[in-house]
Amino acid sequence: MKKEKLSCERARKIPIEKALEFLGHYPSRNTEKEAWFLSPLRSETQASFKVSKKLNCWYDHGLGKGGNCIDLVCALSKVSVSDALVILAQIKTGNDNLSIQQETNFKESGIEIKYIKRIQHPALLQYLKKRKISLIAAKGFCKEVHYKINDSYGFSIGLKNYSGGWELRNKYFKSSNSPKDLTWIKNESQNLMVLEGMFDLLSLITLYPNLKREADFLILNSIAFADRALPYFDHYEIVELYLDNDEAGRKTTALFLNTTSNCIDKSQCYADEKDLNAWLMKTN
């Protein structure tokens, strides 16, 4: 079934505070009637960006301009009204169906990469912070990827695979574009770290920053690529396995251990959690 598009009328009813939170901006002062923010549209040290909760409108005293939720997203993200509606449709308000599903599997031709840059969008920075990922680690391995899915616009943290495709993640979106493949990161080491996904990689580097220079990494990007990973192991003296503690992860770990003698299961380090990132998020 085709997803119903968000109308301008519904978009204007989205609380501006929710839109600002989604885009990574939080109030400096908050009362029952209004909220004050450091302006997301310019640099300032004292909050002069006012949001009226009763009227659901905003006004930037430094710029002398204001508007509704759509106007704000257009100005902040520098996009058209139609693209602003796509962004706003991703916001989970709790009382309607504006949120997108947590994980979407698109056809290979469905995601069109528009441009790639270093990670800087406030929403993505906030997402990394929530998952306790070091920004240095994220910027060392990933990019900010902007894309279109049919007529929809999106942006995510992206990890490039060995065939030039991208694994894409943000707070509401988990997918990849074509071609899908493993990610092999080489540092001319004799030690290989094998992980399931990008956040396992980023969690490991957050915990042990020196590894980014001392080891090679193979990110499966899908358990379905387990057989495809085996030939890579022949290049290494030691292969450390950091796979998930779920049924699929344990089966893949067993496959690797039974097939290759140089493999070591490291999942006991986070035995009480599903994966490395879940364990990292519970550490201090």
For the chain, domain boundaries: 8-88, 108-176, 183-281
Are 29 and 46 a contacting pair, CB within 8 Å?
no
For 183-281, CATH number out of 1.10.630.10, 3.40.1360.10, 3.20.20.450, 3.40.50.1220 equals 3.40.1360.10
- Predicted local distance difference test score (pLDDT) of residue 93: 56
Contact of 185 with 236, CB cutoff 8 Å: no
User: What is the predicted pLDDT for the residue at 100?
Assistant: 34
Q: Which residue has the tokens 């995510």?
A: 156
Query: Residue 80: what pLDDT?
Result: 84
d(CA 6, CA 33): 27
Q: What gap in Å lies between CA 74 and CA 85, rounded to an integer?
A: 9
* 3-state DSSP assignment of residue 215: coil
Count how many Cα atoms sit within 13 Å of the Cα of residue 193 in the half-sphere of its side chain.
24
Helix (H, G, I), strand (E, B) or coil at 257: helix
The per-residue pLDDT for 44 is 81
Amino acid (1-letter code) at residue 76: L
Same fold? 8-88, 183-281 = no
For the chain (length 284 residues), average pLDDT per consecutive 10? Answer: 67 90 82 91 88 93 91 85 82 46 40 92 94 96 90 89 92 85 94 97 96 95 89 94 93 94 94 93 83
Q: From CA 120, how far away is CA 228, in angstroms rounded?
A: 34
* Domain 8-88 CATH superfamily: Zinc finger, CHC2-typedomain (3.90.580.10)
Pick from 168, 170, 158, 223: nearest CA to 194: 223
Looking at residue 69, what is its pLDDT? Answer: 93
- The pTM (predicted TM-score) of the whole model is 0.63
